[in-house]
Amino acid sequence: MKKTSTRLADGRELIYYDLRDDAVRDAVDRRPLDPAGPERSEIRRDRLLGDAVAVASHRQARTYHPPADECPLCPSREGRMSEVPDATYDVAVFENRFPSLAGDSGRCEVVCFTEDHDASFADLTEEQAGLVLQAWTDRTAELGRLPAVTQVFCFENRGAEIGVTLGHPHGQIYGYSFVTPRTALMLRSLAAHRDDTGRNLFDDVVADELSDGRRVVLDTDHWVAFVPYAAHWPYELHLYPKRRVPDLLALDETARAEFPRIYLELLRRFDRIFDAEAGDTPAGEGAGPVRRPPTPYISAWHQAPFGDLGEYRVDRDDFALHLELFTIRRTSGKLKFLAGSESGMSVFINDVPPEAAAMRLREVASE
């Protein structure tokens, strides 16, 4: 991998990650942009729940569903400059022009997985997916060194149903200035389980799923993917390295090498979940399965926060890196909406039994 760091016209950082060591990235951003900032988001605490809410009014002006020929994430070309000045790229990462977190609140970056506007992550080769993993790892290290950043969150939103406003295949990285509420819950559960049993909660969850087997979707040398026992979403997968590590930086080379194949297989299965569902009628004899639109999903890396976790009575190494992948689609043409119970009381109601979801995800394996 070759890493090249440069600056956009308004001063924001742009980093190219290339597969070839001889790649040259010297294009200059010639857009007439005002200097970035001084956008500042405000973090407010809910005194009753302890939740953190970022107030970022400047994001109202962000780019919204541009036509494909005006995509700000495609490579630049004559007559139309984008956020990526070069005419080609493998993976590009840059500071978000409309960040949810800025200044003392943290940092937000955009990760362009490929220059191909019409692709998705599932279309990448294993080599390309491996490069994205290297970029995620490098950004976790770099953001973790910033004084304002406590936790690094790499994620992808895919699909208009999720709320994606740019169709180009991309993800984001948030550097939070605090431990997120979801992670704080995990850390408290981790400490309570250790107090009760003397064991690590993450290790026990993985061991229990492997022992039960009904919800396991993939079990390889270095990774295991399963639908959790109490899945919140219709189709939800958790992917763990078999050797517990706190973050992407600590993954060993064997797990790192195997990840692209495993992750691409899971994404491709997600796109096949709703093909030829019961009741579908093919167009004619020999027409094959009914093809559905790409499955909307959220893919989220959970990593240990940086710094002292004494407040939660755990060590950083007690946390287990894992990826959570889920879709809001519950069946063909129907979405799972967060209505009264979920939004009002945080009690999820899942229409798809986790065992049935796991069975479906095993059924759609690549041949």
Which tens digit of pLDDT belongs to each residue from 320-359? 999 999 999 999 889 999 999 999 999 999 999 999 999 9
Interatomic CA distance for residues 270 and 348, integer angstroms = 21
Task: Find the helix or strand (DSSP H, E) in which 95 lies.
Answer: strand 91-95
Containing H/E element for 6?
strand 2-7
Q: Is residue 239 a contact partner of residue 209, using CB atoms and an 8 Å limit?
A: no
How many angstroms separate the first and last alpha carbons of the chain?
A: 31
- 281: phi then psi, degrees, rounded to nearest 5: -120, 115
Q: Which two tokens stand for residue 271?
A: 């796109």
pLDDT at 119: 96
Chain centroid to CA 217: how far?
A: 19
For residue 170, indicate whether it is catalytic: yes
Q: How far is CA 215 from CA 119, 258, 363, in A?
A: 30, 21, 13
DSSP letter string, 202-227? HHHHHHHHHHH-TTEEEE-SSEEEE-
> Is the sign of the CA dihedral 150, 151, 157, 162 positive or negative?
negative
In order, the DSSP letters of 218-277 are: EE-SSEEEE--TT-SSSEEEEEEESS--SSGGG--HHHHHHHHHHHHHHHHHHHHTTTT-
Considering the chain, what is the average pLDDT of its residues?
93
Ranges of residues in the chain whose predicted pLDDT is under 70? 38-39, 60-65, 68, 276-291
Assess whether the previous peptide bond of 147 is cis (omega < 30° from 0): no
Q: Structural domains in the chain?
A: 2-176 (3.30.428.10), 181-279+288-363 (3.30.428.10)
Q: Where are the alpha helices (DSSP H) in the chain?
A: 126-144, 181-197, 201-212, 253-272, 345, 354-363
Helix axes 126-144, 253-272, angle to 10 degrees: 120
Residue 184 tokens read as: 């704080």
Q: What DSSP character marks residue 196? A: H
325 vs 361: CA distance, rounded Å: 12
Dihedral, 335, 339, 342, 343 alpha carbons, nearest 10: 120
Closest CA to 134 of 248, 30, 34: 248
Rg (CA), the chain: 21
The predicted structure's pLDDT at residue 301? 98
Neighbouring CB atoms inside 10 A of 209's CB total 23
Nearest to 150 by CA among 185, 186, 177, 121: 177
Compute the distance between CA of residue 321 and CA of residue 186 in angstroms, rounded to an integer.
Answer: 12
Nearest Cα neighbor of 2 from 86, 87, 92, 74 is: 92
Annotated catalytic residue, options 58, 168, 170, 238: 170
User: What pLDDT is stored for residue 66 in this prediction?
Assistant: 74
What is the helix (H) or strand (E) element at residue 15, kind and residue range? Answer: strand 13-18
